[in-house]
Chain A
Amino acid sequence: MDFNLTEDRQMLADTLGRFLGEQYPVEHRIKVAYDAPYHDPALWDQLVELGALYALAPEDAGGMGGTGFDISVVFEALGKTLCPEPVLGALMASRLLAAAGADLEALLTGATKYAVGITEIDAPYELDQIATVATAKGDGFALSGRKSTVYGGQVADVVLVAAKHGDGLGVFAVQAADANVTGYGMMDGGGAAEVLLDDTPATLVMANAEAALEDALNAGIVALCAEAVGAMDVAHWTTVEYFKQRKQFGVPIGKFQVLQHRAVDMLTEIEQARSIVIKAAAELGGDDAAKYASMAKNMIGRAARLVAEESIQMHGGIAMTWEYAVSHYAKRLIMLDAQLGDTDYHLSQVMKGYAA
């Protein structure tokens, strides 16, 4: 048993933390996250140069990591600064491409930006409800359907799309230029896109891709959960610092027991969330990956909402302003619940194991 990060990962965490701390101060983040293209292309290039994407892919696929702990180190650092760069799409795409034995070089060098299209309006989380259909056409395929809230889709060169293929699901590569892509900014910053596919040309990346899609989702969930832990940490400690500054009735509000106890409860939930994310990261790629990813996402949904709402409430009006960082942390923490399966969905996944 060892809960210390390995030296390599600690170094990665420090390097990323320093880079993001310097290059992504909250004022800058707020600016780029809400203006098209909803991220900072120059800083994306630097992030890629630092090797952030290599850390997400396994060695045999050309990367330098790819374990649950590599993923969580990267995303916790992203979460601490609310970095809106489209790293999630790169992570999930790298899992799919690696599973298909495809070349990852263009992805890892940042030459090609990838997004992953699984979600549909009527199937936000469920693979078995996907309606998008692939039909053979000439040498390749044509896809019809609508992929919704494709994170990072507003700047993607290629979208990897999950579509019905024969009796199962296939993963197809769609050039963004060939599809009807409508990009937009999100409530919590960063960008996404609606991708309309109407007899759109596509190439098959992988047939019978259920297991690979499942794995990509699990990896994405570990990433989002780690991102949330980073963001919760900052929201919590910002609140505790504020307790020392803000005075009411002549004393710092941190002297009020009712606030102290609520801050302790936040801390307790954050530590619990950190624990379950460690567990999910450890299980990623194994037989029980889905179960622990669901447990983590459920708990993150609850803890993140608690931290977001309590941080706003205990700050008072100041956290309601656009200018104050906590409001943006709160938005991210609330909105990421709906990404890749919300609290209730993942609770139902855990319950499936109970059948009498």
Chain B
Amino acid sequence: MDLSYSAEDLAFRDEVRAYLAENLPKHMTDAVRAGGELTKEVIEEWHAILNRRGWLATIWPKEFGGPGWTPVQKHIFEEECCRAYAPRIVPFGLNMLGPVLITFGSKEQQEHYLPRILDGTDWWCQGYSEPGAGSDLASLKTKAERDGDEWVINGQKTWTTLGQHADWIFCLCRTDPDAKQQEGISFILVDMNTPGIEVRPIKLIEGGYEVNEIFFTDVRVPVGNLVGQENKGWTIAKFLLTHERTGIAGVGFSIQALEEVKSIARKTMRGGRPLIDDPLFAARIAQAEIDLEAMKITNLRMLFKAQEQGAPGPETSLLKIKGTVINQELKDLARRALGPAAAPFPGHVTEGNLMFGPPDTEHNAARYFNNRKTSIFGGSNEIQRNIVTKTMLEL
């Protein structure tokens, strides 16, 4: 066994580090450090910077404009981006639809949509979940009926992340109402400017706005917007969900979160000494750090396996379960370390107004609440356990 990166991988890491040091603007790292929501402009600016270097579509093959990285290189890139406090890449066009089109799309679809994802012409969102179909996707009800050269779509999608910025949405729709649950579903691309689409914001637990409900009333799209075969959308959905789960251990973000907990606990005083010197609190941090240390290796083991076998396996579900739990624990510790200083609603008490508590912690409690989502989205952790039960325990 050899846990170290190869010389090539280390050289690659240095290259990424140097690039980030030179090209990642300070206003972006400041915004990421502060922990609030990022604006569309900031995200698009970052996408454009990466695209100029050919590092935006990290999981696309070379012939479609990806960098052609190995799983390990992709992991190194993500870890370095986290370390540098770069904005997170919005995954819907790049990491979800892109691989779907590359695998299932027609040549025309690939030629039309892929370059527009890269250059930022189209911002995509995901139309999977419905009010009655979350992790249980197969019960979705949104209908697409064939009428001549068009699909006519009726129904409702929900939890559509950043859909308020989107130009296009990729949807799972029921195209054969008589077929069994997983049969009769198709994968269809819809222009958000089509008449009959209504986007309603959902205000989240921490007061933020990142998800939406989307209503479809007699929305007509060309038949050519179908990806892959009619009624075979389930295959695409499963393919996409496995892709969604890679990198979902969020190791880089947890490393960031651990640093933040320690930094807060060093600056916060309790009983006349820094909180980090309190054995009870330090023990909680240490326990989380040990779990994270193990997760770093678990993550590398899975990457190594993926690299050897070519595709991520059901182990990604274990990563998702444990990675999200560790990250949530760290966010919880950060919030608790602040104590009453975490109380103000973001924006109510700020520098220039009045500030208390350590700096960079204004959004801390909000982040804790927002982050409860990670064990729910991408297939809830309970659904991941069902997957592992079937695939690994064979029960």
- Is B285 part of the contact surface with A, judged by Cβ < 8 Å? yes
User: What are 16 A-B pairs at a CB distance below 8 A?
Assistant: A1-B72, A1-B304, A2-B2, A6-B1, A254-B393, A260-B393, A261-B385, A264-B393, A268-B318, A271-B318, A272-B291, A279-B294, A299-B291, A351-B282, A354-B262, A356-B273
Are the CB atoms of A267 and B290 closer together than 8 Å?
A: no
13 additional A-B pairs beyond A240-B395, A257-B386, beta carbons within 8 Å, are A2-B1, A243-B393, A260-B395, A264-B393, A272-B294, A274-B298, A275-B296, A279-B293, A279-B296, A281-B1, A350-B289, A354-B277, A354-B285
- For residue A5, which residue of chain B has the nearest CB? B1
Known: A1-B304, A273-B294, A278-B3. A348 touches B395 (CB 8 A): no
- For residue B4, which residue of chain A has the nearest CB? A1
For the complex, what is the distance from the CA of A256 to the CA of B304, rounded to whole Å? 33
> Which residues of the partner chain A approach B20 to less than 8 Å between Cβ atoms?
none
The number of residue pairs between A and B whose CB atoms lie closer than 8 Å in the complex comes to 130
- For residue A279, which residue of chain B has the nearest CB? B297
**Bitwise interface map of B from 271 to 292 toward A, beta carbon under 8 Å scored 1, else 0:** 0011011010011011101110
Which residues of A (329-350) have their CB < 8 Å from a CB of B? Answer: 347-348, 350
> Which residues of the partner chain B approach A83 to less than 8 Å between Cβ atoms?
none
- Is A298 part of the contact surface with B, judged by Cβ < 8 Å? yes
Query: Which of A1, A5, A264, A299 sits near B5, CB closer than 8 Å?
Result: A1
- Is A247 part of the contact surface with B, judged by Cβ < 8 Å? no
For the complex, what is the distance from the CA of A272 to the CA of B395, rounded to whole Å? 22
Are the CB atoms of A1 and B9 closer together than 8 Å?
A: yes
- Is B300 part of the contact surface with A, judged by Cβ < 8 Å? yes
For the complex, what is the distance from the CA of A1 to the CA of B9, rounded to whole Å? 9
> Which residues of the partner chain A approach B393 to less than 8 Å between Cβ atoms?
240, 243, 254, 260, 263-264, 267
- For residue A270, which residue of chain B has the nearest CB? B318
> Which residues of the partner chain B approach A3 to less than 8 Å between Cβ atoms?
1, 300-301, 304-305
Query: Which of A2, A298, A354, A356 sits near B304, CB closer than 8 Å?
Result: A2
- Is B143 part of the contact surface with A, judged by Cβ < 8 Å? no
Chain B facing A: main interface SS: helix
Are the CB atoms of A264 and B388 closer together than 8 Å?
A: yes
Are the CB atoms of A282 and B286 closer together than 8 Å?
A: no
> Which residues of the partner chain B approach A271 to less than 8 Å between Cβ atoms?
298, 301, 315, 318
> Which residues of the partner chain B approach A279 to less than 8 Å between Cβ atoms?
3, 293-294, 296-297
For the complex, what is the distance from the CA of A4 to the CA of B149, rounded to whole Å? 54
> Which residues of the partner chain B approach A261 to less than 8 Å between Cβ atoms?
382, 385, 389
- Is B321 part of the contact surface with A, judged by Cβ < 8 Å? yes
- For residue B317, which residue of chain A has the nearest CB? A264
Which residues of B (343-391) have their CB < 8 Å from a CB of A? Answer: 382, 385-386, 388-389
> Which residues of the partner chain A approach B296 to less than 8 Å between Cβ atoms?
275, 279
Interface residues of B (CB under 8 A from A): 1-6, 9, 72, 262, 265-266, 273-274, 276-277, 279, 282-283, 285-287, 289-291, 293-298, 300-301, 303-305, 315, 318, 321-322, 382, 385-386, 388-389, 392-393, 395
Chain B: minimal CB distance from A55 (Å) = 15
> Which residues of the partner chain B approach A272 to less than 8 Å between Cβ atoms?
291, 294-295, 298, 322
Chain B: minimal CB distance from A37 (Å) = 36
- Is A12 part of the contact surface with B, judged by Cβ < 8 Å? no
- Is A276 part of the contact surface with B, judged by Cβ < 8 Å? yes
Chain B: minimal CB distance from A292 (Å) = 8
List the 7 closest pairs (A to B, CB-CB), nearest first.
A275-B297, A356-B274, A276-B294, A254-B395, A260-B389, A272-B294, A350-B286
> Which residues of the partner chain A approach B276 to less than 8 Å between Cβ atoms?
354-356
For the complex, what is the distance from the CA of A255 to the CA of B390, rounded to whole Å? 10
Are the CB atoms of B287 and A298 closer together than 8 Å?
A: yes
- Count of chain A residues with a beta carbon within 8 Å of a chain B beta carbon: 41
Are the CB atoms of B1 and A351 closer together than 8 Å?
A: no
Chain A: minimal CB distance from B316 (Å) = 12
> Which residues of the partner chain A approach B297 to less than 8 Å between Cβ atoms?
275-276, 278-279
Chain A: minimal CB distance from B326 (Å) = 9
For the complex, what is the distance from the CA of A3 to the CA of B394, rounded to whole Å? 25
Chain A: minimal CB distance from B303 (Å) = 8
Chain A: minimal CB distance from B278 (Å) = 10
For the complex, what is the distance from the CA of A350 to the CA of B290, rounded to whole Å? 9
For the complex, what is the distance from the CA of A356 to the CA of B270, rounded to whole Å? 13
> Which residues of the partner chain B approach A240 to less than 8 Å between Cβ atoms?
393, 395
Chain A: minimal CB distance from B292 (Å) = 10
For the complex, what is the distance from the CA of A273 to the CA of B290, rounded to whole Å? 10
Known: A275-B301, A295-B290. A282 touches B395 (CB 8 A): no
> Which residues of the partner chain B approach A69 to less than 8 Å between Cβ atoms?
1
- Is A28 part of the contact surface with B, judged by Cβ < 8 Å? no
For the complex, what is the distance from the CA of A5 to the CA of B286, rounded to whole Å? 30
- Is A18 part of the contact surface with B, judged by Cβ < 8 Å? no
- For residue B390, which residue of chain A has the nearest CB? A260
- For residue A237, which residue of chain B has the nearest CB? B393
- Is A137 part of the contact surface with B, judged by Cβ < 8 Å? no
> Which residues of the partner chain A approach B285 to less than 8 Å between Cβ atoms?
351, 354
> Which residues of the partner chain A approach B289 to less than 8 Å between Cβ atoms?
295, 350
For the complex, what is the distance from the CA of A112 to the CA of B348, rounded to whole Å? 74
- For residue B266, which residue of chain A has the nearest CB? A356
> Which residues of the partner chain B approach A246 to less than 8 Å between Cβ atoms?
none
> Which residues of the partner chain B approach A275 to less than 8 Å between Cβ atoms?
294-298, 301
- Is A244 part of the contact surface with B, judged by Cβ < 8 Å? yes
For the complex, what is the distance from the CA of A142 to the CA of B286, rounded to whole Å? 42
For the complex, what is the distance from the CA of A347 to the CA of B282, rounded to whole Å? 9
> Which residues of the partner chain B approach A255 to less than 8 Å between Cβ atoms?
395
- For residue A355, which residue of chain B has the nearest CB? B277
